[in-house]
């Protein structure tokens, strides 16, 4: 593992950066322990015909857990993930897991692009789009649209270290990503993401504008209105009301994460069935699946994302980031992103903001509403999502 000093920066001004190849492999004992826990699940009761109305449908979960214990082949999924160019980079004192995939057969300038995921996922969110972005010519698109793709796991998610002290907020992670991109040799780059990753991308555009050619987001976050903000338009007021109603009906998980994440972390770290219930319900509710989660994901795909959480024991540390983000000062929310910004508001996503709000918070140069896809659009509709990124960043490549 060799230390790298980014060019153009005095070594006294940066924290040491190092990187090494990374191919994680679960032990046989870890997998056997997982299967034993799944087989020994102590199930709760449920009201007759409750379905999904009170949370995860118990019958659906039982079938998934049985498949996880008896038929799911983690070794095959692990091997597939390890065919990606995976690394662990030490940046800001943390080991950050990152996929760093170089453009293949480009015919023009290559734009580096950092993609940031959210919760409850990891680099898993972007695994289907990486090849579409690095090798567009092989998928019927223009080779000139090739990217160098960087997909890190957020600190405390997936295979990245969790901070030993207080969790990091999206502002701090944006600073880490700026260091990461420097260490990887990318002085100028694009930023894209959704959910928590939308916030990280926003702060890259705010705090590192001299390096970011453009910011692409799938949402604008939950609305936070500054006290001295201009009056809301009628469509913004309606959106604010709908966001408040959504929070009342669907936001209990977020309140737990912001306030007492360690309480839930005990059960979710100890019980794989409990972990699956916590994540599966969100995959179903936030995806464009019409209430049938397996319309958007196979069982193997669902369980790959959940198993990453299980093996890395990161459900607790991932939830703690909500607590950090809740403490971001209101003045930070009032800042407007002035670098060119684009939004793809997918039809099946949650809390979809109107154009007026997007114009309020960013220098908007492009807004689209793709006809399919939800909160996890890069996984649900990878071809559509890749096209959105190509179209947005195409005129910014020489910027």
Q: Give the pLDDT score at 258.
A: 97
Q: Give the pLDDT score at 228.
A: 73
pLDDT band at 107 (very low <50, low <70, confident <90, very high): confident
- Other Cβ atoms less than 10 A from the Cβ of 347: the count is 13
CA 160 to chain centre: 13
Could you tell me if residue 45 is inside a domain?
A: no
Distance separating alpha carbons of residues 253 and 231, to the nearest angstrom: 31
Count the domains in the chain.
Answer: 1
CATH classification of the domain holding 92: 3.40.50.1820
Could you tell me if residue 365 is inside a domain?
A: yes
Half-sphere exposure of 395 (CA within 13 A, CB side): 7
Whether 112 has a pLDDT exceeding 60, the answer reads yes
Half-sphere exposure of 7 (CA within 13 A, CB side): 5
pLDDT one-digit tens code per residue, 365-381: 999 999 999 999 999 99
- The answer to whether the Cα torsion of 284, 290, 293, 295 is positive or negative is negative
- pLDDT, mean of residues 229-256: 92
Element (H, E) at 362: strand 362-368
- To the nearest 10°, report the CA torsion of 167, 225, 337, 195: 50
Q: Give the pLDDT score at 221.
A: 81
Could you tell me if residue 49 is inside a domain?
A: no
- The answer to whether the Cα torsion of 259, 57, 290, 72 is positive or negative is positive
What ranges in the chain are assigned the alpha helix state H?
28-39, 58-70, 74-81, 130-134, 170-183, 196-207, 234-250, 252-259, 261-270, 272-286, 299-312, 315-326, 330-333, 355-361, 377-380, 382-393
CA distances 309 to 170, 247, 318, Å, are: 20, 25, 9
Residue 153 is classified by DSSP as P
pLDDT band at 14 (very low <50, low <70, confident <90, very high): low
Structural domain that includes position 355: 2-40+54-396
Could you tell me if residue 195 is inside a domain?
A: yes
Q: For residue 331, with 0-12 CB atoms within 10 Å meaning exposed, 13-18 middle and 19 or more buried, which class applies? A: exposed
**Average pLDDT over all residues of the chain:** 94
Q: Give the pLDDT score at 2.
A: 35
Distance separating alpha carbons of residues 327 and 336, to the nearest angstrom: 19
Whether 315 has a pLDDT exceeding 50, the answer reads yes
Could you tell me if residue 181 is inside a domain?
A: yes
Residue 11 is classified by DSSP as G
CA 129 to chain centre: 13
Q: How much of the chain is helix, strand and coil, in % rounded to 5?
A: 45, 15, 40
pLDDT one-digit tens code per residue, 154-178: 999 999 999 999 999 999 999 999 9
- pLDDT, mean of residues 24-42: 98
- pLDDT, mean of residues 61-80: 98
Could you tell me if residue 48 is inside a domain?
A: no
Give phi and psi for 96, each to the nearest 5.
-105, 125
Distance separating alpha carbons of residues 227 and 363, to the nearest angstrom: 21
Could you tell me if residue 169 is inside a domain?
A: yes
Strand 94-101 vs strand 147-152: parallel, antiparallel, or unpaired? antiparallel
């Amino acid at each position: 593992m060799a230390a790298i000093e980014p060019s153009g920066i005095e070594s006294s001004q940066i924290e040491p950066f190092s990187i090494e190849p990374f191919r994680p492999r679960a032990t046989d004992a870890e997998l056997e322990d997982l299967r034993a826990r799944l087989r020994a699940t102590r199930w709760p009761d449920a009201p007759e015909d409750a379905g999904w109305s009170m949370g995860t449908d118990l019958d659906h979960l039982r079938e998934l857990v049985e498949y996880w214990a008896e038929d799911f082949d983690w070794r095959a999924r692990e091997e597939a993930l390890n065919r990606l160019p995976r690394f662990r980079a030490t940046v800001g004192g943390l080991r950050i897991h990152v996929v760093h995939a170089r453009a293949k057969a480009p015919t023009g300038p290559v734009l580096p692009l950092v993609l940031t995921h959210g919760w409850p996922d990891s680099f898993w969110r972007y695994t289907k789009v990486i090849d579409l972005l690095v090798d567009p010519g092989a998928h019927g698109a223009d080779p000139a649209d090739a990217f160098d793709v960087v997909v890190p796991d957020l600190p405390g998610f997936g295979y990245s270290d969790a901070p030993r002290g207080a969790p990091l907020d999206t502002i701090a992670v944006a600073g880490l990503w700026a260091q990461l991109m420097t260490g990887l040799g990318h002085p100028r780059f694009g930023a894209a993401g959704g959910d928590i990753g939308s916030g990280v991308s926003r702060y890259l555009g705010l705090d590192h504008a001299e390096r970011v050619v453009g910011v692409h987001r799938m949402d604008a976050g939950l609305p936070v209105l500054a006290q001295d903000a201009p009056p809301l338009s009628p469509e913004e007021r309606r959106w604010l009301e709908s966001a408040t109603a959504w929070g009342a009906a669907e936001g209990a998980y977020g309140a737990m994460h912001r306030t007492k994440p360690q309480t839930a972390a005990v059960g979710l770290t100890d019980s794989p069935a409990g972990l699956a219930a916590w994540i599966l319900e969100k995959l179903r509710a936030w995806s464009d699946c019409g209430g049938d989660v397996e319309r958007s994901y196979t069982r193997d795909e669902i369980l790959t994302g959940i198993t990453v959480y299980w093996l890395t024991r990161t459900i607790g540390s991932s939830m703690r980031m909500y607590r950090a983000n809740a403490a971001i000062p209101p003045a930070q929310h009032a800042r407007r992103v002035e670098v060119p910004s684009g939004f793809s508001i997918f039809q099946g996503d949650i809390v979809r903001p109107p154009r007026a709000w997007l114009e309020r918070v960013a220098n908007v140069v492009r807004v689209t509403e793709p006809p399919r896809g939800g909160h996890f659009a890069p996984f649900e509709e990878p071809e559509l999502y890749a096209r959105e990124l190509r179209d947005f960043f195409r005129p910014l490549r020489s910027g």
